[in-house]
Structure 1
Amino acid sequence: MNIAKNMEAIFIAAVVIAGATTYATAAVPATRISVPAAAKVEASKMQVVTVTAKRLTAAEKAAL
């Protein structure tokens, strides 16, 4: 099957499908997602990770 000969038809079909889905989804109202109270995290309970490490010297960086 020679796709090059049918490229115009393929393009038009893709545009028609894209246009139909655009109009079909435009009428659907946006849904609101509510987060349950159990999923909310207070700032005081948030875990913090502190990483302490020695920095590499210029010679050590060059060796890598």
Structure 2
Amino acid sequence: MNAHKHMEAIFVVTLAVLGAGKFALDSVPQAQARPAATGALLERNIATGSTAAVVIVRAPRLPRHG
């Protein structure tokens, strides 16, 4: 494909994709920040000079195929 030959079509398609993307993103509601439900989890996520922040990742375990 000769990119120079099809540059106008590439430009028009790019504008159409960007316009559709902006329209889609503008229709998504804005996030609403709220304080955490429990104080214990909030305290563990804050790093201070003497302690490190703790991150707990939990995922379901898959059965082993042996």
TM interval, short-chain normalised:
0.5 to 0.7
**TM-score computed with the length of structure 2 as normaliser:** 0.53
Give the length in aligned residue pairs. 45
Once the 2 structures are TM-superposed, how far is the Cα of residue 27 of structure 1 from its aligned partner? 1.5
Equivalence for 1:26: 26
- Secondary structure of the corresponding residue to residue 3 of structure 1: coil
**TM-score computed with the length of structure 1 as normaliser:** 0.54
Equivalence for 1:47: 49
Once the 2 structures are TM-superposed, how far is the Cα of residue 35 of structure 1 from its aligned partner? 4.6
Deviations 1:6-35 (Å, cap 9, x if unpaired)?
011001101000001111111211112435
Identity of aligned residues (%): 29
Between the aligned partners of 1:17 and 1:35, the Cα distance in structure 2 is 37
> Aligned-pair RMSD on alpha carbons?
2.3
Once the 2 structures are TM-superposed, how far is the Cα of residue 40 of structure 1 from its aligned partner? 4.4
- Secondary structure of the corresponding residue to residue 5 of structure 1: coil
List runs of 5+ in structure 2 lacking aligned partners.
Answer: 51-66
Structure 1 pair 17/10, CA: closer, same or farther in 2 (3 Å)? Answer: same
Structure whose residues are more often helix by fraction: 1
